[in-house]
Structure 1
Amino acid sequence: MSACPICGKPAQDSYSPFCSKRCADVDLARWLNGSYAIPAVEDDAEEDAAPPPAPH
């Protein structure tokens, strides 16, 4: 059985991969707060692209 990624206790099937609803809720809150945000990498090639066409 795997360990809960939040507290390290054994995971429960009903809350997999977490051990409890509390740890599942902690994980959800971290996602909603942006704690798990993946950093974006800006592509300089977009700046060199042609400007958008003018509106008609």
Structure 2
Amino acid sequence: MGRGRVELKRIENKINRQVTFAKRRNGLLKKAYELSVLCDAEVALIIFSNRGKLYEFCSSS
């Protein structure tokens, strides 16, 4: 049996929100990499934090 769905709503606590962002960002970057390797696909991912910091992933050089 899988996990239940989490209700999507804004996390009010700033610290918890930042921790969740970092964890989910890393998970998303990992999934983008896996997709590029497993499917031999070119993948590009751009993420902006609420502070305006840029995070990026590109499967081709």
Higher relative strand content: 2
TM-score of the superposition, structure 2-length normalised?
0.28
Greater relative CO, 1 or 2 (CA 8 Å, sep 6+):
2
Structure with the bigger percentage of helix: 2
The structure with the largest alpha-carbon Rg is 1
Q: Normalising by the residue count of structure 1, what TM-score does the alignment of the two structures yield? A: 0.29
